[in-house]
Copies of this chain bind each other. A is one copy, B any other.
Amino acid sequence: MKAIHYPKGMKAPMSASSHTTNAGRGMALEHDLNQANLYYRDNDIAVIYKKPTPIQVVNVDYPARNKARISEAYYRTPSTTDYNGIYRGRYIDFEAKETKNKTSFPIQMIGQHQMDHLQRIVRLGGIGFFIIRFTHHQQTFLIDALTLIQTIETINRSSIPYQWFVQHGLPVQTHYRPRLAYLEVVDQYYFKEV
């Protein structure tokens, strides 16, 4: 059997489902976004990266010269969103979440610090949003940060119905390349293009 070689920065889609750690949740959406960001970078359209997962290193061994092996470490709660970068001269910042839930999106998936962060970004003139995927419906929505945060703060429920996203979210279409062309939606909403 011949091994498939993926371009640099891309992981085999298989690795998503075999992931079992906390950090592995929501890997399919992450894979699509990383692929889109790689395409945008390679074509000088945007420079947007997923930030590394913050890890608290407790112990490091040096089995060989210049080779550090971390032998004890813990995941830390990120203080910001996962993705940021630049597009059309503007600062872009977003959080991406996917849920298997059919009828609603659990609000607890979004941290208070992430909402605070996005509100700060918007106050300073940046573009902030969420990308929410309902895997069951195979639907991915882009929702402006302030719109979703306002709804979270007023809905008086622990989840937001799927139908709310159908009405208020901007659907992200899938294409051949990049598969998840989310910057098209950014163009439409934040740069008022049709």
Contacts and interface: CB of A to CB of B under 8 A. Distances in A.
Given A68-B74, A89-B126, 18 more contacts: A22-B68, A41-B120, A44-B124, A47-B124, A49-B79, A52-B78, A68-B75, A69-B73, A70-B70, A70-B73, A70-B74, A71-B71, A86-B125, A86-B126, A87-B124, A88-B124, A88-B125, A90-B91
B86 A75 contact: no
A51 to B, nearest CB: 5
A84 interface: yes
Interface of A: 9, 21-23, 41, 44, 46-47, 49, 51-55, 57, 60, 68-75, 78-80, 84-91, 93, 117, 120-121, 123-126
A74 B68 CA distance: 7
Each complex incorporates copies of this chain amounting to: 2
B46 A86 contact: no
A21 to B, nearest CB: 5
Contact of A117 (B47, B93, B126): B47
Nearest to A67: B74
A91 B80 contact: no
B91 A91 contact: yes
A80 B49 contact: yes
Contacts of A69: 72-74
A68 B84 CA distance: 26
The 8 closest A-B pairs by CB, nearest first: A89-B125, A52-B54, A70-B73, A86-B91, A91-B91, A52-B52, A86-B126, A55-B55
